[in-house]
Structure 1
């Protein structure tokens, strides 16, 4: 049976890792403006405060890992009062050494290693919307170890570096998402996968998304009545079942149109449409331009028509 989480991460195509060390001592505070790209950090020593916009503030301790799939604005600080230093991550120069905040000499109160990466898919915004805004994981040593490997490889200028980093980040995402605590107050893919009945329907869709699925057929896969399945899926995942299926099919179709030398009929068949014309109509309605124009356009321009 297909693993929806792995399929989504592969389609996101994480790449272009940047990493750095950060430490703080004494009275210090920083306020980062929204960045939009996925960011991560692992605390390797001490502790600090983290307040991400839209999330409850948390205290980070040694061994903690944080993943922000779309990195909104956030503040980080020590435990002494301090006026925040404002930083725009889009404009700040890339540091070539560990960044230290607060007192510049003596022992540090916290040390962490973190960074950010990009998603190659123009559907990243849609797919990231299915994930939690902040993932805070405590006591999973594997994540800290992977972060260290990312930092070591990012610092090297060796053959195969980019490919190794892409694989490390894929592993980092999978480890983080499967270790993430499932919150009951926010719908999304992880909450859906945590429910045995809805997970069965999601895996069925991903394993055979070219099939002519209907809500009753998906309800049978989940072992629920039609109305119970529809309500439960929408409540847990945050999208109606057929809306989710359409979004996934179109994300796969975009990937096929960009990356493979396939005819329109072949693409249509691979994502569950009986003809190129019915696929073109659905694609144009969903994306905002016909597949032929999408295929001829540059990926970064095509992504702007979502």
Structure 2
């Protein structure tokens, strides 16, 4: 069966970059400026307080995974107040060893791996539409195993560690998305996939992107009436079915043009357009420039 979530992850082309061990002991605090790109924190040992601007502070413990799709300003600290150290993640490179805060000697109260995801810039906005501002996953056995493996890989630094870390963090991302795909998630693909009926329709769309889908066909695939399906899809996924189909076709088209360097006519056929001109018009309206210009840019 086709898997829409795997499609999204493949388009994102995620990698783990700028990763550093962060540790703290005693009373300490570090204040990070806005980064604007997806950032993550994997708690390896102990616990700390995370306060993301605009959100209530949360306690993060060993085995927890936190993902910030846009990484707004936030403070990471001990549980007692302390003057913060200010860091601008855009100016401080990663991969330069452990950053220790508070008392410099002795076993730290908290150790975490903090870093940022690097995604294909043309598709990075997809993550923002899929996930809430703060994703905090805790107590999930599979995720805790991944966290342990990442910690061991980062500590041992054997040959091939960079590749292993990037793949492990990619799996963490998928696991975080799975954990977020509940009825309480924001309207979007993840919430749609959590709906058994809508998941059938979404899977059909992703499996046959070149098919001339109609609302009626998708409603039958979901075993719902046309009106019930349309309303349920729009409410759950956040956009009407045909608008979702158009948006996904354009995401795939951008990837085919930029990454696979296919000709515009070939891309048009791949994503379900009967003519190059009709595809070019749709692409220009959706993306803001003709596909030929986008491919050259």
Give the Cα separation in 2 of the matches to 1:250 and 1:226: 25
CA apart distance, 1:60:
0.8
Q: CA deviation at 1:9?
A: 0.4
Q: Corresponding residue for 1:304?
A: none
CA distance in 2, matches of 1:154, 1:288: 46
In the TM superposition, what whole-angstrom CA distance separates every residue of 1:257-294 from its partner, at most 9, and x where no partner exists?
11224332211011010110100000011111111111
Shift of 1:11: 0.5
Report if the CA contact (8 A) 2:43-2:60 is conserved: yes
RMSD: 2.4
Residue 67 of structure 1 is matched in structure 2 by 67
Deviations 1:84-133 (A, max 9, x none): 32221101244622111122223322121232120024021134312232
Partner of 1:276: 276
Aligned runs of 1:1-306 on 2, under 5 Å? 1-15=1-15, 17-94=17-94, 96-147=96-147, 149-150=149-150, 152=153, 156=157, 158=159, 163-180=163-180, 182=182, 184=184, 186-297=186-297
Shift of 1:228: 1.9
Between the two proteins, the alignment pairs up a number of residues equal to 296
- How high is the TM-score relative to the length of structure 1? 0.87
Q: CA deviation at 1:153?
A: 6.0
Shift, 1:10, TM fit: 0.3
Runs of 4+ in 1 over 4 A off after TM superposition: 147-151, 153-158, 160-166
Kept in 2: contact 1:137–1:181 (CA 8 A) = no
Query: For each residue in 1:152-188, what CA deviation from the matched residue of structure 2 results, as whole angstroms up to 9, or x when unmatched?
Result: 3698585x66654443333222222223363626222
SS of equivalent to 1:209: coil
1:252 CA drift (Å): 0.4
Q: Is the contact between residue 17 and residue 115 of structure 1 (CA under 8 Å) also seen in structure 2?
A: yes
Separation in structure 2 between the aligned mates of residue 268 and residue 52 of structure 1, nearest angstrom: 43
Q: Where do 5+ consecutive residues of structure 1 fail to align?
A: 298-306
What's the secondary structure of 1:175's corresponding residue? helix
Using a 3 Å threshold, how does the CA distance of structure 1 residues 128 and 266 change in structure 2: closer, same or farther? same
**TM-score, scaled to structure 2:** 0.90
Moved more, 268-277 or 160-169: 160-169
